């Protein structure tokens, strides 16, 4: 079969970029200019650029043009976790730890070894977890404004597994899921694996935290939307908390159009006294997903899904197919920490620690366009027009600072001109050093000093 006639142009431009003939940061002709120069149709020129963008070689920036990307960045940077080289200051992934957590773990393991329950942990557990541990989680969630029966709780291997379990149980390949235009990258990966179609809904035009529900309503009127994925309490990466009125309107739309609500509450503990969860407002159609990885430790892979009773068998079946059950030792440890107040204690300490880090970041980055919650371990930084995201991320890597650009978080295009800074993985002293490097390189690029 003959290849399309525009393919040689794609190959030539790709080769020029890879060989360095077109250097990173080079502004390419507009779509119309490329069409005129090459004697091709405008739609064909757009197809050329679309293929180069899919190859990760160029990026289109709204209002600025099309540029050759910084190809020194590894594929998937910001979403695919890799081992950082020695000396790298990690502002890409969050793994916060409070002093003394190791001792808490040591003490908890000692108590566990002395318990009469140890023998049971060597055997298979019920797929959804043991009933008394599901009851402990239900009690824990009641403190967050969510009243559920133990039978509605399923214990899973972390919140990511909870999202995967929810999607595999309730959705089919090809289903359309509405999301914010910027979302947690782990859900994007899950959607790709499960072949879901994501429909990005822009932010509310009245500056209310959350998606524009008028746009969601129009989408539901024109297409069969199956579900909405939402982080109403402490959104990642923007840090906002959706007001009660917005939640009630979202619930009304979900009932009207028979939508499943997937509520990601992984970071909800950062927000004190938030409005009720979606699962409280619409318990008959909400999958509530959270866990202990963010509030306790990323290595503690214990999560939970709360669901309507009628959906529990489907969810249990997926747990059986994917992990059989969450390891009993991990579940027992997490539930003991819930019962003895350790979880509540650590959550309060981490909120305070996050406040200190946010305050430091806002002081060092003063004057830049920051979006975030004052008690969260991350913030969103919209970059000045003169600073290109990929070159900044690459330059920071050469300065031993790892950050994420906006691309892993963006659903569709255009991709915002921004970076996300994770504040929780390094010491306060190291964080100050890293943030000052971020500020210096932004200033250098904004004033043309670095390139």
Section 256-268 average pLDDT? 96
More confident residue, 419 or 57: 419
Six-digit token pair at 88?
Answer: 């790298």
Q: Which of 48-62, 78-92, 378-392 has the lowest mean pLDDT?
A: 78-92
Q: What is the pLDDT of residue 26?
A: 83
Position 449 pLDDT exceeds 70: no
Six-digit token pair at 445?
Answer: 């690029």
Q: Write the DSSP string, 74-90.
A: PTTTTTS--PPPTT-EE
DSSP 322: H
Position 451 pLDDT exceeds 50: no
Section 157-166 average pLDDT? 95
Contact 421, 403 (CB under 8 A): yes
Position 448 pLDDT exceeds 90: no
In angstroms, the CA 292 to CA 159 distance is: 8
Average pLDDT of the chain is 87
Q: Tell me the Cα Rg of the chain.
A: 23
Six-digit token pair at 84?
Answer: 């950082």
Q: Which of 51-55, 252-256, 326-330 has the lowest mean pLDDT?
A: 51-55
User: Strand 286-291 and strand 260-264: pairing?
Assistant: parallel
Residue reference for tokens 């991709």: 415
Tens digits of per-residue pLDDT, 170-224?
Answer: 999 999 999 999 999 999 999 999 999 999 999 988 778 889 999 999 999 999 9
Six-digit token pair at 140?
Answer: 């824990």
In angstroms, the CA 408 to CA 242 distance is: 22
Section 128-143 average pLDDT? 91
In angstroms, the CA 147 to CA 149 distance is: 7
Six-digit token pair at 63?
Answer: 């209002």
pTM of the predicted model as reported, rounded to 2 decimal places: 0.82
pLDDT-derived band at 359, boundaries 50, 70, 90: very high
In angstroms, the CA 278 to CA 271 distance is: 15
| Residues contacting 226, CB < 8 A, separation 6+ | 171, 175, 176, 177, 259, 260
Position 76 pLDDT exceeds 90: no
Section 317-344 average pLDDT? 88
Axis crossing angle, helix 328-339 with helix 131-142, rounded to the nearest 10: 40
Contact 416, 410 (CB under 8 A): yes
Position 437 pLDDT exceeds 80: yes
In angstroms, the CA 98 to CA 349 distance is: 7
Q: What is the pLDDT of residue 246?
A: 95
What 3-state class would DSSP assign to 292? Answer: coil
């Amino acid at each position: 079969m003959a290849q399309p006639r525009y393919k040689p142009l794609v190959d030539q431009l790709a080769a020029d970029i890879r060989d360095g003939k077109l250097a990173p940061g080079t502004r390419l002709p507009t779509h119309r200019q490329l069409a005129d120069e090459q004697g091709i149709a405008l739609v064909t020129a757009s197809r050329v650029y679309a293929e180069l963008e899919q190859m990760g070689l160029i990026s289109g920036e709204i209002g600025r043009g099309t540029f050759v990307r910084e190809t020194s960045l590894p594929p998937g940077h910001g979403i695919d976790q890799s081992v950082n080289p020695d000396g790298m200051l990690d502002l890409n992934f969050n793994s916060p730890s409070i002093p003394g957590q190791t001792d808490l773990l040591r003490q908890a393991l000692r108590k566990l070894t002395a318990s009469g329950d140890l023998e049971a942990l060597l055997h298979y557990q019920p797929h959804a977890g043991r009933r008394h541990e599901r009851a402990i989680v239900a009690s824990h969630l009641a403190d967050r404004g969510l009243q559920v029966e133990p039978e509605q709780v399923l214990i899973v291997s972390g919140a990511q597994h909870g999202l995967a379990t929810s999607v595999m149980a309730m959705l089919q390949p090809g289903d359309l899921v509405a999301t914010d235009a910027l979302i947690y990258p782990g859900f994007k990966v899950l959607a790709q694996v499960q072949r879901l179609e994501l429909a990005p809904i822009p932010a509310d035009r009245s500056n209310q935290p959350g998606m524009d529900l008028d746009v969601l309503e129009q989408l539901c009127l024109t297409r069969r939307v199956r579900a909405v994925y939402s982080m109403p309490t402490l959104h990642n990466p923007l840090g906002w908390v959706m007001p009660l009125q917005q939640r009630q309107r979202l619930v009304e739309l979900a009932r009207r159009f028979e939508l499943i609500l997937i509520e990601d509450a992984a970071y909800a503990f950062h927000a004190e006294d938030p409005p009720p969860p979606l699962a409280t407002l619409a318990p008959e159609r909400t999958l509530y997903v959270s866990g202990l990885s963010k509030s306790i430790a990323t290595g503690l892979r214990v999560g939970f899904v709360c669901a309507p009773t009628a959906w529990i068998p489907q969810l249990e079946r997926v747990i059986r197919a994917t992990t059989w059950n969450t390891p009993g030792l991990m579940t027992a440890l997490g539930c003991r920490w819930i019962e003895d107040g350790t979880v509540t204690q650590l959550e309060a300490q981490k909120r305070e620690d996050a406040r200190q880090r946010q305050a430091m970041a806002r002081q060092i980055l003063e004057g830049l366009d920051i979006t975030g919650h004052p008690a969260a371990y991350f913030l969103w930084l919209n970059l000045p027009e003169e600073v290109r995201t990929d070159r900044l991320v690459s330059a920071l890597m050469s300065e031993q600072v790892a950050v994420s650009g906006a691309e892993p978080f963006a659903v569709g295009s255009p991709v915002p001109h921004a970076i996300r800074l994770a504040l929780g993985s390094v010491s306060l002293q190291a964080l100050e050093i890293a943030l000052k490097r971020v500020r210096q390189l932004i200033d250098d690029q904004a004033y043309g000093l670095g390139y």
